[in-house]
Structure 1
Amino acid sequence: MTRIGLIGAGYIATWHADALRATPGTRVAAICDVSETAARGMAEACGAQPFTSVEALIESGTCDAVHILTPPHLHKPLALQCLAAGLHVLVEKPVAESAHDTRQITAAAEAAGKRFHAGHNFLGLPGYQRLKAMMTDGTLGRVSAAEISYALPLSPLRSGPFNLWLLRDPRNLLLEVGPHLVAFAVDLFGPPEVVFAEATKPVMLPGDDPRPQAFRFLARAGGVDITFTVSLVETQDDRSVTLRGSSARARLDFASDVLVVERENSSDLVVNPLRKQLDLARQHLREGLRNAWVQGKSLNRKGPYALSFRGMNAALYGDLNAPQDARFSGQTAVAVMQVIDDALALLPAETLRAKAPAVQTRAPRPTAMVIGGTGFIGRALTRRLVADGHDVRVLSRGRHGPFPDLPDRVETAAVSLYDLDALTQAMQGIDVVFNLAKSMDKTWSDALINDVGVAARIGMACEQAGVKRLVYTGTIASYDMSDRGTTITEDTAFADDMTDRNLYARSKAECERQLMKLHKQRGLPLTIARPGIVVGHGGPLQHWGIGRWHGAGAVRIWGPGDNILPFVLIDDVVDGLVRMAARPSAVGHSFNLVGEPMLSARGYFDAIHKALGVRIRVDSGNLTAFYLSDAVKYGLKKYALHKSGLVRPSRADWQSRAHFSPFANDKPKAMLDWRPEADRGAFVDSAIRNANLIGM
């Protein structure tokens, strides 16, 4: 049994953990993360030991190997540390920030006599194995050209968060995505020689710092011309490998694990095209039925992405004494990273030059604090506060914030929201605190810790620091919005029993209840805001408050989509928050920041078509069908998979997603003199035409 530790407990770690649990001969023995809460939560789910430092994990002797799943700039030092300690290592892609660093990891593995695996998981996909076999056995004939594409929207480029590693430097975008594509080419044809590269479709990050949203580079390997394409704008999903041979053309959709081969037949000119299309139709039907059977039989635990990790793990841990699988070896990792380096070297220097931060001339003297200041609302609020003459302290997980152009006015502080003393210290000298933080938990017990507990702790810190006003941002999602005949005002109460509501709605309502208790019992100077569906520049195209998205080109809206939705412009929300902080009369009150009645869901997408020339496929969502599907999933998870902490589905909860109940915004207009945009043309300009929804 190979005991494996996961270093990093973020999103990708769950995929590694699930795949390892399904891999014979392996066991997840340890979870390591600087966040004790994250480490402990995942460790409990995996039956593993939690650690908050790599040193402690190594000293414990609990692991034979580790998977390094941290941000890429930490990969090399962690890999060298673990190899020196006698552990095998798998490093997520990109395995390092350059080929030079990758060579150092490879050399360290050889010196230690341990394995260094590159996390090129898509090479373990079943469909890719079939594609490679077809090329090897001559089914495709002599392959002359390959097109390898990764076209998938990357919303953080347009709507944040902007403090991610991949946005810190223009080259990081290709380092992040490129290894997926190049690994296919290296495995199929050997190391390619790059002959051309370009980066296009720049988008401006905050502070007018440009980032390319598309890359294209051409290479040759083994007589094969290879085109690599990366597109991160709002685009039709196309993650594929296409091989063009003398006998056939094969296309692997590696996101869906669908392999289709187009070939000629010997029929005459009339029947030939019919047979060709029937053959393609038969293949598509076969692939669709196979995937549906695999995923249905496994209760959706064997989707393509999950299968890619399982295939990779099977190749790595079948026998650690056998020769290393070349697909995941250090030598292959070096070849992959060298191609990325070569492509970057051919790009103009100005394309890869991040804008230097503005020079600081004085230290900020903050009187306002924004918790969650790197998010959509938080970024706009921070800039509005600065425009109004305030210096701002932004609390974030790291010290990189989306305000490089405001070094004199904004400081970003990394303060744990679980540390009352640290929060209180950070609030010294602060007059107003805006709490925009939220957590997206999967169980109610986690929500009580990460959302409700955090909100209450921030409230207590405000008390201890003598903050004059706390503005807490809840959500209109906490209301029951299922009745078209009920107009919602601030006097509309939340349900007494919210156990059948989605966790976000229930958790936010409980946060409000606990904070209002602090206000009534201990005088916490609290005001509560509940924004509607916030739209405008910096917001996403694929807004889940409107419907369930299937890529950038299709959405199933919640319900029929004929009722007016509670849209509100980002600038109007920010204006409301500022007014709430400034008015003494607002203490102890809540305000629904919902704009004037403007557009239905269908009206919104019609406006996108008219303003941008972009037609998105819009289908009505049957809320009863959503509810029944949710109920079936609930039953399977609870009784077949024996999962705990699940939310019991309710029809009212699904109907509330359609926002059937209209809202009245009389209270913020009367008490705050708030005036949301009332002109439809101006609203469409701000929400759609000038919002950079598509990224180009």
Structure 2
Amino acid sequence: MSKTIPIGLIGAGYIADWHADALKATPGVRIAAVCDPRESAAQALAQQHGAQVFTTVQKMIEARVCEAVHILTPPNLHEPIATECLSAGLHVLVEKPVAESSDATRRIAEAAQAAGRFFAPGHNFLGLPSYLKLKETMQAGDYGRIHTAEITWALPLAPLRSGPYNLWLLRKPENLLLELGPHLFAFAHDLFGPVTVTHAEAGHPVMLPGDDPRPQSFRILARAGHVNVLFQIAMVESVDDRSVTLRGSSARARLDFASDVLTVERENAADLVMNPLRRQLDLSGQHLKNGLRNAWTQGKSLNTKNPYAQSFRGMDAAIYGAMAQGRQHPSFSADSAVAVMQTIDDAIALLPEEVTQVAAPAVSTRKPQPTAMVIGGTGFIGRALTRRLVDNGYDVRVLSRGKSGPFPDLPNSVETVGVSLYDLDALTEAMQGIEVVFNLARSLEGTWADALIHDVGVATRIGMACEKAGVKRLVYTGTIASYDMSDPTRTITEVTPFPADMTDRNMYARSKAECERQLLKLHKERGLPLVIARPGIVVGPGGPLQHWGIARWHGAGAARIWGPGTNTLPFVLNDDIADGLIAMIDAPVVGESFNLTGEPMLTARDYFDAINERLGARIRVSSGNLTAFYASDAVKYLLKKHALRRKGVVRPSLADWKSRAHFSPFDNAKPKTRLGWQPEADRARFIDRAIGEAGLFGF
């Protein structure tokens, strides 16, 4: 093994950034390769670390540029990729869950043993500094004899209520436990050794499309030696509680592993009057010390050492520190991976049969003959649009990353196809027989260069494919966020121009505006049959509670409104957006744009009051000083640009922050006149759909 271990990252999705940043801070390793079938995604990550790009695992192996790999793909791909890499002589770290079963995990472990290579599970929270302190202190006996442990994961899981529904995570009920369980069971195994599950139950079911229920909570009882262990998972809207609580004869220790905070409650020898005061003062002091330490750490590192980031750094330091000595760290060993997955299998086996059943999709009696295509059809608006199209007699082709979508009950009318949005020929082929294309795709990028590739470039390519395929109409979904909405005295209509200089606007607003500009250029120069829709703040069934067009959210229980929250917001129901988009199919409006904003009804504060009145949930709401937001953003901009030397950082502007408050009112007369659009005008019915039927809290 070389002195510096070259690492390959297989998978360039969200989690890859966390692994890459941790490896960059880990002594004795370097990122040598990034492998992903999406070459553009691999290239974007590889450029940050001076790594080579590969689109297949085989090519990366053949290049012999790595000694170890981190496997960061969807879990159903972990086993074949891990065994392939091990057989090729590479060490592997596999992101959790390491496989879909304990048997598959054993096969990976056997492959590692046969190859004489290391196999480590990606149980990152075992590397958190406060967890290591908890473990060390417990093993030293400072908490006395441990009799009970409670290990909790209470954090909302938005895809259960608002999609996307084609994720591996939602394919089967047990996948939820496979995804979240490793964090909890890894703690128990690492602290106490072998775990025996005695009871498992699930609750709070939510219905996915096609009447397919998924549990939103699990409660599992187990024993580990003389310790009784309770595992709790809650995915409904809740205050974040990701914790390990140990009850011993001498102390009660609680680790908040989401915040890297460890507090210990002990008895003291004071008299009956001072005893409770001293106990609370001691706890208060611990919280203050932890808070100051974490604030200092994150501030000094410019938030590159937040608890989640530190957990990955601690994991990598442990794994590669041991590897440099020719051994495997016991907390991240093949044996620990197998033990954790076996416990999850045991828990799944004890769940009632009705919990693990998956609803069979409706039986197809005919093959769909699509004339409408929805790109982004698995998203919030796309799902409503697709179902509305079917209601209106259309067969629909939905373009998705995968080959399954949230329409198992519509096999006669909807087909889902996986086509790369970067392949012009494949897009053109997929549009054969299609008369109208709805492009609802969006890409949130960190730099303008990335946005030009992954958002503007994709939108333009879709437009070109429509031309080549002879599509009769392309409906592109932009956003009202591209407007300057900072002036409350100016009413915005479709003739209101976007700002001439968009360089100081947020990336989403700027990118969407550029997409429109490029598509309009194709319309004017080459006759692209284009219509542009700009939805307002979209709410309704299947939508998220934490809509960032309304406020900055801090979990489900607190929100800071953009501005005072007393101006009327451009809310609109999802179903009304679908109706407006469908009306654009045949109306003589080619080359025109439409702002789809509903009738003026609610301010931000009205919205939160309606949630309380309709659902009985009071959210803690405060006004946000937009000038203060801007000043904070300006400081971050300077630090990112000059201290961290990041490229492509967006220069903030006060107008951009004021636009988030939607101060400017909208006039929706044009879509009502030209399209015959009729958004919901009754306030009570609007609140019923936007809040009462939206399933905002998961109950």
Give the TM-score normalised by structure 1: 0.99
Report the equivalent of 1:385.
389
Contact 2:505/2:656 (CA < 8 Å) preserved in 1? yes
1:155 aligns with 2:135: no
Residue in 2 aligned with 1:347? 351
Partner of 2:428: 424
Contact 2:428 2:465 in 1 (8 A): yes
Distance (Å, rounded) in 2 between the aligned partners of 1:309 and 1:525: 49
Distance 1:523 1:437 in 2: 22
Per the TM alignment, residue 268 of structure 1 is displaced from its structure 2 partner at its CA by 1.1
**Structure 1 position 323, deviation (Å):** 2.7
Residue aligned with 2:164, SS: coil
Q: What are the residue-to-residue correspondences of 1:51-200 with 2, within 5 Å?
A: 51-200=54-203
The residue aligned with 1:559 is 563
The answer on 1:50 being equivalent to 2:53 is yes
Per the alignment, residue 445 of structure 1 pairs with: 449
1:230 aligns with 2:223: no
* SS of alignment partner, residue 13 of structure 1: helix
2:353 & 2:117 partners in 1: Cα distance? 38
The aligned residue for residue 405 of structure 2 is 401
Equivalent residue pairs, number: 695
Number of the residue aligned with 1:3: 6
* Partners of 1:680 and 1:270 in 2: CA distance: 56
Amino acid at match of 1:67: H
Q: 2:467 aligns with which of 449, 463, 480?
A: 463
Query: Alignment partner of 1:412: what SS?
Result: strand
Mapped partners of 1:89, 1:36: distance in 2: 22
Aligned position for 1:206: 209
RMSD: 0.7
Correspondence for 1:671: 674
Match of 1:323 in 2: 327
Q: Which amino acid aligns with 2:549?
A: G
Contact 2:24–2:31 (CA under 8 A) maintained in structure 1: yes
| Residues 420-472 of structure 1: per-residue CA shift (max 9 Å, x gap) | 11111111111100000111011111111111111111111111111111100
Aligned AA (2:474): L
Q: Deviations over 1:297-323 (max 9, x none)?
A: 111110000100010011111142343
Aligned-residue offset at 1:555: 0.9
* Separation in structure 1 between the aligned mates of residue 169 and residue 614 of structure 2, nearest angstrom: 31
User: CA–CA distance in 1 between the matches of 2:280 and 2:344?
Assistant: 38
In 2, Cα distance between the equivalents of 1:329 and 1:643?
36
Structure 2 unpaired stretches of 5+: none
- Deviation of residue 325 (structure 1)? 1.0
Instruction: Give the secondary-structure state (helix, strand or coil) at the position aligned to 1:581.
Output: coil
- State the AA in 2 paired with 1:327: S
Greater shift, 519-528 or 217-226, is seen at 519-528
- Aligned pairs (5 A) from 1:240-279: 240-279=243-282
The answer to whether 1:410 aligns with 2:414 is yes
Corresponding position of 2:692 = 689
Secondary structure, in 3 states, of the residue corresponding to 2:148?
strand
1:582 deviation in Å? 2.2
CA distance in structure 2 between the partners assigned to 1:441 and 1:560 by the alignment: 29
1:632 and 2:652 correspond: no
Q: Which amino acid aligns with 1:235?
A: S
Q: How does 1:274-289 map to 2 (within 5 A)?
A: 274-289=277-292
Q: Which runs of 5+ in 1 are unaligned?
A: none
Instruction: Tell me the distance in 2 between the aligned counterparts of 1:519 and 1:157.
Output: 39
* Superposed CA offset, 1:213-254 (max 9, x none): 000100001100000000001111000000000111000000
Percent identity for Structure 1 against Structure 2: 72
Please tell me whether the aligned partners of residues 322 and 329 of structure 2 are also in contact (alpha carbons under 8 angstroms): no
**What does the per-residue CA deviation read over 1:324-356, in whole Å, with 9 as the maximum and x for residues that have no partner?**
111110101111011100000001112101111
Q: State the SS of the aligned residue for 1:555.
A: strand
Structure-1 separation of matches of 2:32 and 2:12 = 13
**2-side partners of 1:253 and 1:342: how far apart?**
26
Indicate yes or no: 2:270 matched with 1:303.
no
Structure 2 distance, partners of 1:20, 1:691, is 41
Letter of the aligned partner of 2:245 in structure 1? T
- Residue pairs, 1:433-582, within 5 angstroms: 433-582=437-586
Deviates more, 1:446-455 or 1:25-34: 446-455
Distance 2:675 2:212 in 1: 36
**Aligned with 2:598: secondary structure?**
coil
- Residue equivalent to 1:221: 224
> 1:124 Cα shift?
0.3
Find the aligned partners of 2:463 and 2:111 in 1 and give their Cα distance.
49
Structure 2 Cα separation of the partners of residues 420 and 79 of structure 1: 33
Query: Per the alignment, in what secondary structure is the counterpart of residue 665 of structure 2?
Result: coil
Secondary structure of the residue aligned to 1:62 is coil
3-state SS, counterpart of residue 484 of structure 1: coil
Local SS of the residue matching 1:318: helix
Q: Shift of the alpha carbon at 1:362? A: 1.5
Q: Taking structure 2 as the reference length, what is the TM-score of the superposition?
A: 0.99
- Matched to 1:376, the amino acid is F
Matched, 1:338 2:342: yes
- In the alignment, the residues of structure 2 paired with residue 582 and residue 575 of structure 1 have an alpha-carbon distance, to the nearest angstrom, of 13
* Cα-to-partner distance string for 1:489-543 (whole Å, 9 max, x where unaligned): 0010001110000111011011111111111121111110000000000100111
Q: Distance in 1 between matches of 2:426 and 2:93?
A: 36
- Counterparts of 1:617-656 in structure 2, within 5 Å, are 617-656=620-659
SS at match of 1:582: coil
Q: Secondary structure, in 3 states, of the residue corresponding to 1:620? A: strand
The one-letter code sitting in structure 2 at the alignment partner of 1:308 is S
- Runs of 4+ with >4 A deviation: none
CA distance, structure 1, for counterparts of residue 561 and residue 7 of structure 2: 42
